[in-house]
Amino acid sequence: MWGLVVLDASFNLVSSLIQALTWEDMSENVSPPPSPKLCAAVHITNPIVSSPSTLPALESFPTTPHFVLGPPSATLDPSSSTLDLLSSVDAASSNTISSAQKRKLKRNMSAKNARSKRREKAAEALSYRVHAFRASQKATSQKTPVSTSTSVHCEINVHDLPVTSTAFTALDPPPNTRKRRRAVLKSRTRRKPQPVFTLADLVGPDSKFRFKLVKASSTPTAIVDSDDRIIGVVANHPDDKDWAQLMQEAADALESHRDSVSQNDLIHRRGAFKALRCGVSYGGGQEVPGNLVDGDNADILKALNSMKAFKRLASFASCMYSRLFETKFFSSSIRLAVMCTWASSLFNYYATMLDGLHNEHRHLVRIFRDSIFSAVSYNFGPRTVCYKHKDYANLAFGFCAITALGTFDYTKGGHLVLWDLQLVIEFPAGCTILIPSALIAHSNIPVAEHERRYSFAQYTAGGLFRWVSHGFKTREDYLATLSCEELAAHKENDSKRWEFGLSMFSKWQDMKGPRHSEH
């Protein structure tokens, strides 16, 4: 049975409804409090309460009754039925809705819908898994990069390369001779430049090493080991009419900022050039994963990270599904799928693990929304030439994306040398190459004195994957929580991780079919 509802003359139903809609917009999950005007004007007797938790307490309403409804000329007949009362309210209020109030209602609904769409987009942007799924769907539906590609085959089997017992990172083996150990220790202590090798030292019948030269090509080139694994990709660059202009802008930015970079170590393990890192890292004594911080150079990093050129490079190397596809920045979106196309299983592994990392630690910052990699390095040159080294702290079975920038003759210098594979790869400016930088020692051939060469590298620390696998704990804390049976299972998983990682490298035969395009 309905109770008697009596409204004061000053009560306006439309205004109360508008206010209720405003409360709803402010919070969809929290029930709004009753309108002060409604509380002052309404007295409810004998209410029917279907759920006590969904209605305000009866004590929240005043006990003084009023018997005037709607406009002052309207009076309430106590003998009227409930339906009559409701009809009177509807008729009285329908005439009071002004055009301004209608517009306000419409604006509120539009704003609510817009906020809902923004929340959905934000949630999607946060999820690596959604990006990975969409990118893999696009990559599998367009096989042109693979069908037009070539390959270069190596005698080495990456299975035989050294990694740690857990296979999250690679090993940095000590020099194999006493003399070499002393030389390396001396160079590290005094930070002396290390030797670099010219093209004549590495390639040709009269060279010391007689490595194989891989010429630059207009199509992607897969690097394949003896077990048919694709362990690297010379991805070149997208077929984009303004790509050269963007790469020139990136090189000019690195050149203009170089003198402003505050850095004490001009000679470091990777070379004799200024370099800045940013992103998410874990390792080297860190207790928890964190954002790389460089307070002295924060403004420079912010400016570089915001540039369209580096955003495009990040997207091209990863192929995260994003607005880049939707707005068609590239004239040929088919060739966007670099890591996603050539290592889709590994790409999805990155996506799943890093999705968990960022959901657990919301303070960690993704530099580029469309990148699968967690950190980047800007190498300022002016002649960026890396010494022979391994990035052993990166994921052992993961990829590192390297892009060359600048103005130089790529047929005479700037080559990428892969020592374990005995390959020397021509590396033009604006091109991107993916390699497992933790496994394979690599370096560059120097460029001429009058030339300029910079580089942009993207990578992910292996420690981040270990942190996620250990339940967002250090190894010691994680092992302390395990029972004897769980500890045995954990050791077995560690022993199998290297094989698991290798299984995520794509097979050339599966990607291409019969090997009719080999070097």
What is the DSSP secondary-structure string of 449-477?
Answer: TT-EEEEEEEE-BHHHHHHHHTTSS-HHH
Same domain, yes or no, for 83 and 151? no
Cα 349 off chain centre by:
13
Burial class (CB in 10 A: 0-12, 13-18, 19+), 187: middle
* Burial of 160: CB neighbours in 10 Å, binned 0-12, 13-18, 19+: exposed
**In this structure, are residues 434 and 401 in contact, taking their beta carbons and an 8 Å threshold?**
yes
* Residue 214 and residue 132 share a domain: yes
pLDDT of residue 369: 84
Cβ atoms 432, 246 nearer than 8 A? no
Q: Is residue 517 part of a domain?
A: no
- 3-state class percentages of the chain: helix first, strand second, coil last, to nearest 5: 40, 15, 45
Long-range CB contact pairs, 95-100, < 8 A, 24+:
96/12, 96/13, 96/14, 97/14
Closest CA to 236 of 427, 445, 517: 427
CB 274 within 8 A of CB 454: no
- Residues 315, 459: one domain? yes
d(CA 278, CA 314): 13
Inside any domain, residue 180: no
Of 104, 120, 136, the domain-final residue: 120
Please report whether residue 191 resides in a domain.
no
Handedness of CA 473, 477, 481, 482 (dihedral sign): positive
Burial label, 48 (beta-carbon count in 10 A; 0-12, 13-18, 19+): exposed
Cβ atoms of residues 249 and 430 within 8 Å: no
What DSSP letter does each residue of 102-160 carry, written as one string? HHHHHHHHHHHHHHHHHHHHHHHHH-HHHHHHHHHHHHHH--HHHHT-EEEE-S--GGG
Placement of tokens 């990777």 in the chain:
270
Q: Which domain holds residue 244?
A: 128-173+204-512
User: Rounded to an integer, what is the distance from CA 126 to the centroid of its chain?
Assistant: 8
| Whether residue 62 is found in the same domain as residue 153 | no
DSSP alpha helix (H) spans, 208-360: 243-258, 298-305, 308-318, 323-326, 339-342, 344-360
* 400 within 8 A of 379, measured Cβ to Cβ: no
Tell me: do 334 and 479 sit in the same domain: yes
The CATH number of residue 499's host domain is: 3.60.130.30
Rounded (10°) angle between helices 13-26 and 99-126: 10
Query: Tokens for 125?
Result: 């942007």
Residue type, 446: P
Instruction: Indicate the helix (H) or strand (E) that contains 6.
Output: strand 5-6
Asked if residue 194 is part of any domain, the answer here is no
Q: Is residue 233 part of a domain?
A: yes
Q: Of 86, 101, 120, which closes a domain?
A: 120
Whole-number Å distance between alpha carbons of 417 and 444: 6
Q: Determine if the pTM surpasses 0.75.
A: no
**140/105 same-domain check:** no
Dihedral sign (CA 251, 254, 256, 259): negative
In a domain, 343, yes or no: yes
Residues 116 and 222 in one domain: no
Do 100 and 168 fall into the same domain? Answer: no
In a domain, 193, yes or no: no
Q: State whether 226 and 84 are in the same domain.
A: no
Q: Are residues 241 and 308 in the same domain?
A: yes
Query: Which of helix, strand or coil describes residue 236?
Result: strand
15/148 same-domain check: no
pLDDT value for 62: 39
- Cα–Cα distance measured from residue 454 to residue 91, given in angstroms and rounded to the nearest whole number: 75
Q: Is 195 domain-assigned?
A: no
Domain limit, last residue, from 99, 120, 141: 120
pLDDT means per 10 residues, the chain with 519 residues, are: 54 62 52 44 40 38 36 44 49 62 84 78 56 51 63 94 94 61 53 80 92 93 96 90 93 93 71 89 87 89 95 84 34 55 92 92 90 94 90 95 96 96 96 96 94 96 96 93 93 95 94 57
| CA 348/CA 351 separation, integer angstroms | 5
E-assigned strand segments in 375-480 = 375-379, 400-407, 416-418, 423-425, 432-435, 442-444, 452-459
Report how many domains make up the chain: 2
Are 213 and 112 contained in the same domain? Answer: no
Secondary element (H or E) of residue 479: helix 475-480
pLDDT of residue 131: 54
The candidate with the shortest Cα–Cα distance to 130, out of 351, 350, 374, 340, is 351
| Amino acid 473: pLDDT | 93
